[in-house]
Structure 1
Amino acid sequence: MSRAARGPRIVFWRHGQTAWNLESRFQGSTDIPLTEQGVEQARRSARLLAGLQPDLLVSSDLQRARHTAAELGKVTGLGVDHHEGLRETYAGAWQGLTNTEIRARFPEQFDAWAQGEPVRRGGGELATEVADRAVPVVLAAVEKLPEDGTLVVVSHGGTIRTMLGRLLDLDPVHWERFGGLSNCCWSVLGQGARGWRLLEHNAGTLPQPVIGDET
């Protein structure tokens, strides 16, 4: 991706690895820290993203995102604005459970979600409600960018998917078509003639398994 691209760009950067990612536990809004490997992932990716000369940096206020964002702040000198609106999906009773436990305890709910139906997982938020709270944070930051500026948004796999879907004006039923983001990888939106368009997805690494996609 060239820094010479015209118009504003938004880089959606997923946080680094956590222990619950490795255990396939649904984190949701639970505030879980990075592992040592997660910190190293953040440092490596921060050096790559610094090459884009970002102008603004905003982040979820959960510590796994805060600590990831801080690494980019260190190498760019940018301050970080933290926002509750960029948190991962609240998933109620699902949070802290492994995929196996969720399947066993909530089989009908899990199957409906797996088929792309709108589901309040564990009694929590719908994907559209996540987009409702997250996208305004991003658009407000875009308004502060200089001409042809770059915004980096540090968030979570599920929340980033909802923001991509909403900003690309896709019907929510199609949001699941976006493959998951690996830890500390990113997706990029740029301005086209008809609005936002996807420039990159799951960039920043050779292909790796996506661990804890919605966490």
Structure 2
Amino acid sequence: MQSTRVYLVRHGETEWNNSGRYQGHSDIALSPNGRRQAELLRERFCRVHLDAVFTSDLRRARETAAIIAAPHGLKINEVPALREINFGVWEGLTYQEIIANYPREWEVWRQDPGATIIPGGESFQQVKERALAAFNGILDRERGRNLLVVAHGGSLRALICGILGLDLTAVWRFRLDNTGVSVVDCYGVHQILVLLNDTHHLEDLGGPDGSGIL
């Protein structure tokens, strides 16, 4: 059976990442360090054949995708459904500020992220549904190819839960670092997570150790 390989990449660091602010749909650019992370990932992907590149339409993801894709001469395909979770009234706030101002809402969301809608925002169930529909649509059009998908920590964790059939409480059970690489091999309706959050390209920046298949 013909396989499709999908490289799932979280965008590079932003100043809001660095200061611990929840970004959501806020359109924040990469920081200088985030651009360097993406450049290191570009070097890593120079050894990989890519057929197509898809990205969230938010700037931090688009910038990351464009840096990686440049040596391949590929068009960047923007997919709004890959956006980060909408944090509503929490956007721009730190963890400590959210806890202080929305303690009940925060606790309910942590206990049941799938069903709980953030005030003015959305639930992880809503994120999973839109991201998974976008992912499956890409697969339907691009079967048998090597694909790069650049998105966000929350939307990618929800997507991976959807791919693996996990309950959305599992979004708290794994992490995705800035420019972390995950790999999914797809054989028809069967999808296998091959790699999760590999960051060995960041070792020169003091990033976590890792071993990869790229």
Give the structure-1-normalised TM-score: 0.87
Residue 192 of structure 1, CA deviation = 5.7
SS of equivalent to 1:57: strand
Identity %: 33
Is 2:163 the counterpart of 1:162?
A: no
User: In structure 2, which of residues 105, 114, 120 is the aligned counterpart of residue 123 of structure 1?
Assistant: 120
User: In structure 2, which of residues 58, 62, 66 is the aligned counterpart of residue 66 of structure 1?
Assistant: 62
Structure 1 equivalent of residue 49 of structure 2? 53
Q: Which amino acid in 2 is paired with 1:201?
A: L
Is 2:47 the counterpart of 1:27?
A: no
Is 2:25 the counterpart of 1:41?
A: no
Q: Which amino acid in 2 is paired with 1:196?
A: Q
Structure 2 equivalent of residue 176 of structure 1? 172
RMSD of aligned C-alpha atoms? 1.9
Query: Would you say how many aligned residue pairs link Structure 1 and Structure 2?
Result: 202
Residue 123 of structure 1, CA deviation = 3.1
**1:77-88 matched pairs, under 5 angstroms:** 77-88=73-84
Partners of 1:171 and 1:98 in 2: how far apart?
26
Partners of 2:116 and 2:45 in 1: how far apart?
34
Q: Which amino acid in 1 is paired with 2:142?
A: L
Structure 2 equivalent of residue 75 of structure 1? 71
Unaligned runs of 5+ in 2: 209-214
Structure 2 equivalent of residue 196 of structure 1? 191
Residue 120 of structure 1, CA deviation = 1.5
Question: Runs ≥4 in structure 1, deviation > 6 angstroms?
Answer: none
Structure 1 residues 175, 98: CA separation in 2 closer, same or farther (over 3 Å shift)? Answer: closer
User: In structure 1, which of residues 127, 132, 135 is the aligned counterpart of residue 129 of structure 2?
Assistant: 132
Does structure 2 retain, via aligned residues, the 8 Å contact 1:190–1:196?
yes
Is 2:145 the counterpart of 1:145?
A: no
Does structure 2 retain, via aligned residues, the 8 Å contact 1:135–1:163?
yes
Residue 50 of structure 1, CA deviation = 3.1
Unaligned runs of 5+ in 1: 1-5, 210-215
